[in-house]
Structure 1
C-alpha cells in the first residue's frame, strides 16, 4: 500500500494554513491555529482517529475566528481527499454512537465523492472557550465540501456544550479512520469509481 500522506498549503488575504496529514498514523499531532478550544478539538480528532497531523494556521483573529476555522476545515478536507487518492480498497462507510458523560452523539460517514452535511446539533452557549459555537458546523461544512464526503452528525442528548463538542470530534475521528480502513483492493462502488 502506498503511503496515504498529503501536504496542503492555502494562502488567502484572510488566512495562511500549512498542513501535513498522514491517514495511517498513530495519533501524533502538532497543531497551532491561535484558537485554543479549536486546537483541543483537532487534537481529540487526531488522537481518536489515529491521524498524524501537523497544522499551522495564521488568520485574521483580530476580526473573529470564522476564517481560520473554516479554512482549516477546507485544508483538512483537501488533504484527506489527496491522501485517500482513488479510494481503492477502503471500507467507505462507518458510523458510531459515542458517549461523553451526559452527551450522546451519532456520527455517520460515506466517503462517496458527494459532499453533503446533515448537522443536527444545537449549542446552548454562543462560545466554547474563545471559539464561536456556530463555527463547529462551519468547520464540518468546509471539510465535507473539500473532502467530498457525506457526513451526518446528530446530538441524541447532551446538556454541557463542551462535552457535546468533544464527543463530536472524537466520533468524527473514529468514523473517518474506520471508513478509510483498507479492506480489499477494489473500488467500493458498483460504478467502479468514487
Structure 2
C-alpha cells in the first residue's frame, strides 16, 4: 500500500477536498480504494489548546488509535508521550527519534519477549492490572515505573467494542495489588 500525502489550501472546504479526491482517484488513478482526509492544522491547534489549558498534564497518544506516520511525526515534534501496546509500536516511535522515556508500554498482558525488548531499549514505564504481570515485571524489568490500570465505578458498564473485554479493576481490587507491588519493591507512579 502506497502512502501519499496531498497538501491542501486553508481556503478549501473539507467537503470540496473529499469530492476532488474521489474524482481524481476514480478518473485518473482508476482506484476505488479507501482514503482519509486529516486536517493537521486542526490537530496542531487542539494540542496547543491542550497545553494552554492543562499545562501540567503531559499527554500520551495511543498509537493504536491512528498510527499514521505523518500524525505520529507531528506529535513527536510537539513533545507528546506515546502509549504503545506492542513491540512494533515501540519500534515505530523509536524510529521517529523519540526518547524511550516518552513511551509507556501500555499492554496489560505483555509477552515476555516484548517486555524484555521494551526494557532493553530504555522504556521506563508500563501498566499492570493483575498479580501475574507484577511477578513478570519484577523478573524482567524491575526498574520500570508502573501505572495501575483502574476503572471508576460504573464505567465498565458503558464500555463497548474492542475495549469491552479488557480487564478493568474496581477500586476495591486495588489494595491487594498495590501491597504486592510494594512487597516486590516495584515503583507504582500512577494510574491509567
Which band: TM-score by shorter chain?
under 0.3
**Larger strand percent:** 1
Larger RCO (alpha carbons 8 Å, 6+ apart): 1
**Larger helix percent:** 2
- What's the TM-score once normalised by structure 2's chain length? 0.22
Larger Rg: 2
- What's the TM-score once normalised by structure 1's chain length? 0.22
